[in-house]
Structure 1
Amino acid sequence: MVMAKTVILGAGYGGMATAVALEKSHQPFTIINKHEYHYFTTLLHEPAGGRNQFENYSVPLRDVLHRAESEILVASVNALRPQENKVVTDSGEVDYEYLVIALGNAPEYFGIPGMQDNALVLRSLDTARQVHEHIENTFKSWQEDHDDTRLRILVGGAGLTGIELCGELAEWMPELAADYNLPLEKIELINLEAAPSILPMLDEGLREEARRVLESKGVQLRTGTAITKVNPNQVELKTGETIDAKTIIWTGGVRANPLIKEAGFEVDPKGRAKVNEFCQSVDYENVFVIGDSAWFTGEDGKPLPPTGQAAEQMGSLVADNLIALQNGGSMQAFHFNNRGTLASLGAEVGVGSVKGIPAKGVSAALLKEATKVKYLWHLGGLRMLSEKRGQFKRKG
């Protein structure tokens, strides 16, 4: 049985922020992750939509965590046993004194029949690759039967992920048409959203600008259009309409990893474990929960939404609190610093706001690129920035 004082579950934005901060303070830990790499979750729409090569969007864990006392265990977490201070993985059990749960999320299907079985999702590097390859292979096959449903892509959900994916796909379609001698005028990219508007986290003016840009790129935005059922190669809508398509992608929401609820933690309706102001589980004082796994109530009284910046900030704070606990110090409360939201609408334009200041067009796209640079710096300093920053430009 492996013994570890501090165990971190997951190497997403939150888990990596904790690990990097602990390593800088020379604190030993074990990080358990399904893959031997960390990938940039908030950028998955880029390689899925053909902007760049997939290998540019991940970093080997050992390239970030260098110290010998920083143990990396590549394994899948199968169960949490907080009553016993154990984590069960497919490589065996791991004991801990302190646990940081940063397991990320799972798709939220809202009980829509057939959605899980018949739609692609965008939640990992592997699923992004599946989306990309599926579209490419489906379009390529059009020459065999001239079935126009092969050239129709449905994207469910008009939040950040769905809209950014549509922006990337819209720019990729002309390339695919040229590569496989396809009729560009027959390619359809349709976004379906049950809510009355897209990008609900942005103000109305920015939403309208995003709509204008996407529609100018050929995206059909259908708001107020709920999907009620998904069949193989077909969606049924609340209006009674059906739409046939060989590519159906769901980006309509996320919930916490089901292992948290199964372990008996107090959870909210999305399965997130309730935490106190220190990001500490209300059920177990030696367990911290961050990112998409955490039910944290913000200063406005509302649960903090699942974002990369929230996970990263939580991870850094938890590292400080772990160090304080082990040294007899006082923990600090978490206060989310909302830096804003930026949505790319392709490689060169975007919309969003930074610290309450709206941005659109090229300036928003440049700000989005700046967030990538900032994250690379936080993750691995100058060396990481030098290696990665030039790899996010559109290929070609």
Structure 2
Amino acid sequence: MSKKRIVILGAGYGGVHSAKLLHKKFKKNDEVEVTLIDKNPYHTLLTDLHEVAGRRIEEHGVKVNLEKIFGKKKVDVVTDKIDKIDFDGQKLVSENAEYGYDYLILGSGSEPAYFGVEGAEENSFTIWSYDDAVKIKQHIHHMFEQASTESNENKRRQMLTFVVAGAGFTGVETIGEIAEWQKRLCREYNINPKEVSLKIVEGLPKILPILNDKLIAKSERRLNKLGVEILTQSLITKVTPHSVTLKNGEKIKTNTLIWTAGVQGSSFAANIGLTLGKRGRIQTNEYMQSVDYSNVYVIGDNSYFEEENEGPIPQIVETALQTAETAVDNIEADMENKSYEAFKSNYHGFMVSIGGRYAVAHLGNTSMSGFIAMMMKHIVNIHYLFGVGGFNLIWSYIMHQFFTIKDNRSILGGHFSFRSPNFWLVPLRIFVGYKWLDEGLNKIGKVIEDPSNIFLIPAPPTAATSGATQAAEEGAEAASQWGEALPVPEFIQNIMDWFMEAFFYTADGEFTVLATIFQTGMVIAEVVVGGLLIVGLFTALAAIVSVVMGIMIWTSGMAPTEMLWFLAAGIALIGGAGRTFGLDYYVMPVLKKWWSKTPFARKTYLYID
């Protein structure tokens, strides 16, 4: 039996999801080869492009290297630009190579639709790729920079007028980001905010028509609060480099038009010879197969399929993911001569962010807005990223959205984004290390002299006045020298009593061997943790162990009140104070580089870039 070759064209949401699913299904099948081809070596988080355009997150925050996703997966990633497809010969052709296939999944995405508006394509920005978002960001910054030195009032206002065409999800999210960013730009370039004009232009009677009227009204209020003028029932008829003309004859003087007014299938997909549905999308059957070739599956924005009583499937992320699942399931079914599964959409809702601190959402049968809606948007994004790149991408997302955010533009404001230099923690790190080391060294002599002399664990409640009781009393007396013992809640004390009786006490009311091992381990841990904190090696791990030891001592009922600052200081040190005047400065980069290249780390995504 010859190997089955499955080729996926396009590393968008649907393409990446298809490749992940195929890997899961066929990772142990050497008779199946999976190849993912894209003109870029990275997957773009298209739904976050507006955040780059409005400089809420850094540019690389929307790029995910494909090798990072599929480095240890049964997916061969190829960076190449496909020029044509020979469906009869079953091969994709680029300038320098050919790629044969037995099954083909087409997911080459979409592109803006201009509806024949004069000058729109030539004189507007789009936001359909990473490069588009970067160009918009650079252009807006340049406009403020130029305006700061422009003395002609008309030219200045023209530079500071920003228009978004289309009030769908992308348009509203884009103008919301610009509205927040312009406040910083006005401060940087000493520009009066009243000179800045932000407009969103929509040909329909209302914005975000897919949402209910209540959420639309909330979205309008939020946009108005950000200083955005909403122009509905305002079709654009002409665009020049310096103006936008509306159907009612109004002319808006501007150097910036961002076009988000429509979407259609990619021109590549529309011109490869397959039967088309509407708007340049390829006609498919209910199994996501092209109506022309049964071994060609079409997913996401490329696919045109009308569900009964539902109309054409929408060009949204959930469609891309669900059509990908249908295509992969049916490829497997075809290989195994099983029945195909028909596509059935199951959309969970819609979410729209308006800046970094506000969103509206309709999930299931529930409408929400503000903090809750924005939180749900983050949760959905994290869920998707976990499926794509596990811990690595989630960590990257959290860092971009909360820890490196500028101007408090997140639902948590700037509470997590303010950073103090680590050198302020160096004295605390060394002092906590000294205290643990001193504690351990003072006890280690007793442990060496008589390991069975238990003084770190409360005596068995049924023990007679014996060595066990005496040792425990000595431990309590040592603790009392620090001050009064911290109180322990009754339910925690009950749990600890059960634990002690199960593992540390014998039926005769004596200490077990496990108690001896535990005490020895605790003393050694105090010495090791103290030493690591002093020299600044594996500081985060040592700080975590410090906190755990403090909690253990507290729950034993033998912790002095001074243990509270051990706990607080340990938490403060978890952030990595060893990177300043510590060995972590030298050791951690080397370990991080080594670990990120190990097969286990690449396979599980348990590493940080």
Residues 67 and 326 of structure 1, relative CA distance in 2, 3 Å threshold: farther
Match for residue 281 of structure 2? 272
The alpha-carbon deviation at position 77 of structure 1 amounts to: 2.1
Residues 385 and 5 of structure 1, relative CA distance in 2, 3 Å threshold: same
Spell out, residue by residue over 1:105-144, the C-alpha distance to the aligned partner (whole angstroms, 9 max, x if none). Answer: 0110000010000000000111000111011011111123
The alignment yields a C-alpha RMSD, in angstroms, of 1.5
Q: Distance in 2 between matches of 1:371 and 1:120?
A: 28
Counterpart contact for 2:120–2:238, Cα < 8 Å: yes
Counterpart contact for 2:179–2:227, Cα < 8 Å: yes
In structure 1, give the amino acid aligned to 2:113: E
Match for residue 164 of structure 1? 173
Paired residue secondary structure (2:275): coil
Query: What is the aligned counterpart of 2:395 among 349, 362, 386?
Result: 386
The alpha-carbon deviation at position 157 of structure 1 amounts to: 0.3
Question: Which is worse superposed, 291-300 or 120-129?
Answer: 291-300
- What are the residue-to-residue correspondences of 1:207-246 with 2, within 5 Å? 207-246=216-255
In structure 2, give the amino acid aligned to 1:37: Y
The alpha-carbon deviation at position 356 of structure 1 amounts to: 2.1
Q: Which structure 1 segments of 5+ residues have no match?
A: none
Q: Distance in 2 between matches of 1:391 and 1:312?
A: 24
In structure 2, give the amino acid aligned to 1:12: G
Residues 384 and 232 of structure 1, relative CA distance in 2, 3 Å threshold: closer
Residues 150 and 97 of structure 1, relative CA distance in 2, 3 Å threshold: same
Query: What is the aligned counterpart of 2:297 among 285, 288, 291?
Result: 288
- What are the residue-to-residue correspondences of 1:315-394 with 2, within 5 Å? 315-393=324-402, 394=405
- What are the residue-to-residue correspondences of 1:61-72 with 2, within 5 Å? 61-67=66-72, 69-72=74-77
Match for residue 204 of structure 2? 195
Counterpart contact for 2:23–2:73, Cα < 8 Å: no
Paired residue secondary structure (1:266): coil
Match for residue 11 of structure 2? 11
Give the number of the structure whose alpha-carbon radius of gyration is greater: 2
Q: Distance in 1 between matches of 2:270 and 2:161?
A: 38
The alpha-carbon deviation at position 259 of structure 1 amounts to: 2.2
Counterpart contact for 2:125–2:132, Cα < 8 Å: yes
Query: What is the aligned counterpart of 1:314 among 323, 326, 336?
Result: 323
Spell out, residue by residue over 1:289-346, the C-alpha distance to the aligned partner (whole angstroms, 9 max, x if none). Answer: 0000000212424001100111012112322222222222322111111110000011
The alpha-carbon deviation at position 395 of structure 1 amounts to: 2.6
* Residue 119 (str. 1) matches residue 124 (str. 2): yes
Higher helix proportion, which one?
Answer: 2
Counterpart contact for 1:142–1:150, Cα < 8 Å: yes
Match for residue 525 of structure 2? none
Paired residue secondary structure (1:6): strand
The alpha-carbon deviation at position 383 of structure 1 amounts to: 3.6
Q: Distance in 2 between matches of 1:90 and 1:173?
A: 44
Spell out, residue by residue over 1:261-294, the C-alpha distance to the aligned partner (whole angstroms, 9 max, x if none). Answer: 3222111230111111111111100000000000
Counterpart contact for 1:4–1:30, Cα < 8 Å: no
Paired residue secondary structure (1:63): helix
The alpha-carbon deviation at position 68 of structure 1 amounts to: 6.3
Counterpart contact for 1:4–1:94, Cα < 8 Å: no
Counterpart contact for 1:80–1:259, Cα < 8 Å: no
Higher RCO (Cα < 8 Å, 6 or more apart): 1
Counterpart contact for 2:162–2:254, Cα < 8 Å: yes
Spell out, residue by residue over 1:80-99, the C-alpha distance to the aligned partner (whole angstroms, 9 max, x if none). Answer: 22232122223322221110
Paired residue secondary structure (2:333): helix
In structure 1, give the amino acid aligned to 2:236: I
Q: Distance in 1 between matches of 2:86 and 2:237?
A: 37
Match for residue 173 of structure 1? 182
Question: Which is worse superposed, 53-62 or 325-334?
Answer: 325-334
Counterpart contact for 1:274–1:295, Cα < 8 Å: yes
In structure 1, give the amino acid aligned to 2:241: P
* Residue 39 (str. 1) matches residue 44 (str. 2): yes
Counterpart contact for 2:127–2:133, Cα < 8 Å: yes
Q: Distance in 1 between matches of 2:233 and 2:399?
A: 39
Q: Distance in 2 between matches of 1:356 and 1:225?
A: 31
Q: Distance in 2 between matches of 1:213 and 1:106?
A: 29
Query: What is the aligned counterpart of 1:204 among 205, 213, 221?
Result: 213
Paired residue secondary structure (1:78): strand
Q: Distance in 2 between matches of 1:71 and 1:278?
A: 25
TM-score, normalised to structure 2, is 0.63
Q: Distance in 2 between matches of 1:47 and 1:171?
A: 13
Residues 264 and 390 of structure 1, relative CA distance in 2, 3 Å threshold: same
Match for residue 61 of structure 2? 56
Counterpart contact for 2:61–2:396, Cα < 8 Å: no
In structure 2, give the amino acid aligned to 1:191: I
Higher strand proportion, which one?
Answer: 1
Question: Which is worse superposed, 116-125 or 3-12?
Answer: 3-12
The alpha-carbon deviation at position 65 of structure 1 amounts to: 0.9
Residues 362 and 68 of structure 1, relative CA distance in 2, 3 Å threshold: closer
Q: Distance in 2 between matches of 1:145 and 1:110?
A: 35
Spell out, residue by residue over 1:127-186, the C-alpha distance to the aligned partner (whole angstroms, 9 max, x if none). Answer: 000111011011111123242211110100000000011111111110111112211110
Q: Distance in 1 between matches of 2:393 and 2:347?
A: 25
Match for residue 265 of structure 2? 256
Query: What is the aligned counterpart of 1:304 among 291, 303, 313?
Result: 313
In structure 1, give the amino acid aligned to 2:168: G
The alpha-carbon deviation at position 387 of structure 1 amounts to: 3.6
Counterpart contact for 2:286–2:342, Cα < 8 Å: yes
In structure 1, give the amino acid aligned to 2:139: H
Paired residue secondary structure (2:163): strand
Counterpart contact for 2:290–2:298, Cα < 8 Å: yes
* Residue 74 (str. 1) matches residue 85 (str. 2): no
Q: Distance in 1 between matches of 2:41 and 2:257?
A: 30
Q: Across the two proteins, how many residue pairs are aligned to each other?
A: 394
Counterpart contact for 1:233–1:248, Cα < 8 Å: no
Q: Distance in 2 between matches of 1:138 and 1:384?
A: 33
In structure 2, give the amino acid aligned to 1:395: K
Q: Which structure 2 segments of 5+ residues have no match?
A: 408-609
The alpha-carbon deviation at position 4 of structure 1 amounts to: 7.7
Spell out, residue by residue over 1:335-385, the C-alpha distance to the aligned partner (whole angstroms, 9 max, x if none). Answer: 111110000011111112001210111111111111111111111223432
